[in-house]
Structure 1
Amino acid sequence: MNITQASKMPGIRQRMSLMPGWTTEIVICAPQKFVWEQVTDFEAYSDWNPFVLQAYAQFEAEGTICFKENLKQFGQHWIKAQFLSIDLPNSFVWQGHFGTPFLFSVRHSFMFESINEHQTRFTQVHKNSGLLIPYLAWRGVYCISYQGYLNYNQALKERCESRVADL
């Protein structure tokens, strides 16, 4: 599913299909450690990331991350989450919630897989839970969020590949 800004609201089936979460993946022509460094330089997100406009993190297990997402017609909002695990330079996971966890929780995993010394597979896994999930899916929030993470991946690819070429 690829939703453009010019397209109309996706059908109910398409909106509800994202209710439990989604996975995005992109191959980046840059070494794994380099991609890791770009993703974990949270304060630089405002320089390149079209979806996560700002981020501040205490990047350690049980540390926190605060970030501002751009959900287009649903507005920009801050999320505060906690790092559950960090396995340098392979993966990290954070979990956050809105209000109380039973209303809305999200768990997001970032995985960096070295394909070879010059290519990395970057994967994001996003899992939703809570009472508000069907309502948010019905409204189309997850379609916008999913597209936001696809845009994040593409911007990351462009950033990494242009910077590696300059080295």
Structure 2
Amino acid sequence: MAIEIKTEILINAQPEKVWAILTDFKSYPNWNPFIKSIIGDVKVGNKITVRIEPPNTKGMTFKPKVLTFETNKELKWLGNLLFAGLFDGEHKFELIDNRNGITTFKQSEKFAGILVPLFKKQLDNNTKKGFEEMNSKLKGLVEQK
């Protein structure tokens, strides 16, 4: 079974400004309510350490592999619980330049694996809410600078 969570928000700024804050991983503990930390060299092929804390759930730390790191456009990684095929998540941040000083920020994750049905309710509620809270905080932070 596979499910996908998709969220998006319009940010009144150029993609470069959004990207600068999105990729300032050392500042995440100060503003990000969902992803508490990203540690490591965020380059394609590297493993990084990510700590997430969705609302109303226990947080978790995992070590995904960076799949895409395209400046001002996209960051994507693939993580799994214990081993591939059990519970895999492909997380993506995407910035769309609307060419009018507004950026569409999309955050999504595709979940696959045999344990996905067990976590479906939590993913649909808590994880999606975490995405939305992060998106809102990112928008506020970018637009106030």
Q: TM-score range by the shorter chain?
A: over 0.9
| TM-score, L = length of structure 2 | 0.92
Gaps of at least 5 residues in structure 2 are: none
2:72 pairs with one of 59, 77, 89: 89
Contact 2:15 2:103 in 1 (8 A): yes
Residue among 125, 129, 135 paired with 1:147: 129
Code of the residue aligned with 1:137 in structure 2: it is K
Q: CA RMSD in A?
A: 1.7
User: Size of the alignment, in residue pairs?
Assistant: 145
Are 2:31 and 1:57 aligned?
Answer: no
What stretches of structure 1 of length at least 5 have no aligned partner?
1-18
Q: Aligned-pair distance for 1:23?
A: 0.9
Q: Is the 8 A contact 1:52 1:69 kept in 2?
A: yes
Match runs of 1:17-96 below 5 Å? 20-96=3-79
Structure 1, residues 27-81: CA drift from partner, whole Å, max 9, x if none? Answer: 1011111101111111211111011112213111112221211134321111211
Q: Secondary structure at the match of 2:83?
A: coil
**Aligned partner of residue 148 in structure 1, secondary structure:** helix
- What amino acid sits opposite 2:69 in the alignment? I
Deviates more, 1:72-81 or 1:100-109: 72-81
- State the Cα deviation string for residues 100-154 of structure 1 (Å, max 9, x = none): 111100001111111125211111121000010001114x244101100000000
Tell me which residue corresponds to 1:156: 138
Counterpart of 2:45 in 1: which secondary structure?
coil
Q: Percent identity?
A: 25
Q: Is residue 55–residue 127 contact of structure 2 (8 Å, CA) maintained in 1?
A: no
SS at 1:67's partner residue? strand
Tell me the SS of whatever aligns to 1:89. coil
